[in-house]
Amino acid sequence: MSSLPGSPEPGVRSLLDPQQPRTVAPRRDGVAIGALALIFSIIALCVAYSARVAPSTPSSVPDSLRVLAKRLDSLSGAVARDGIRRQIDADAVHAVDLHQENLQSIGDGFSVGELSVAAVARGTRVHGTLINREAVEHRPASFRFQTRGESTDVFVTRIPAGGSAYFTAFVPVVADSVRYGDLRYRNSTVSYRVPH
C-alpha cells in the first residue's frame, strides 16, 4: 500500500487531519490567574464595603472606589516616604563632619578620624585616618569620597586588622564651602589569620 509523500503511514493518526476530533488543553498561567483573582477580590471587597456603608445606589460604588483609590494613594505615598527615610538613614551612616577630629563611623566596619581640610591650587584636599574595626585585613581598599556634588576615588594600599591607614582625597570645590562629606567603602581583598 503506497501513501502520498508527507501523509502518515496507514494506522498512524495525524494531528493535522481535519476529520479527527481535537482537544486543546486550556493554558493555565498561574501568574495571570493569581492576578485576576486579586482583581476580582478587590472588586468584591469594594462592592461589599459599599453595601455595608451605604444603601446600594448607583453613586455609592464609585464613591467607595474613590475612597479605596485615596487609601491606595496614601499607602503608596507611605511606602515612598519609608524608602526615602531608609535612604537618608543609609546616607547618614556615611556622612562625615570634615571639621571634627573625633572618630566617626562610616559603616562597613570602618571609622574615620583626624580629619583635616586644606585649600589647594584647584580645589580642596581632605586628609585623615581610616580605622579598620574588623578582624580582617583589607589590601588594597577602595573608597568613594563625595562632597558638594563632586566625588573621587580613594585608594589605601593596606589597612591591617584592627589597624589604621592614612588617606588623602582631592575634590575640585572651594575649601571654605566644604563642611560635610560622604565616605563609602567600595571594595577590597580581605584576608585573615586562623589561630593555630
pLDDT tens for the chain, residues 1 to 196: 444 555 555 554 544 445 544 444 444 445 555 655 666 677 777 666 666 655 545 555 566 666 666 666 666 666 566 555 555 444 445 688 888 888 999 988 999 999 999 999 889 999 999 999 999 999 999 999 998 888 999 999 999 999 999 999 999 988 888 888 899 999 999 998 877 7
* CA 23 to each of CA 119, 133, 157: distance values in angstroms, whole numbers, following the listed order: 81, 69, 70
First to last CA, the chain: 85
pTM here is 0.53
CATH class of 98-191: mainly beta
The 10 Å CB-count burial string (b at 16+, else e) for 117-144 is: beeeeebbebebebbbeeebbbeebebe
Looking at the chain, the domain(s) classified CATH 2.60.40.1620 span 98-191
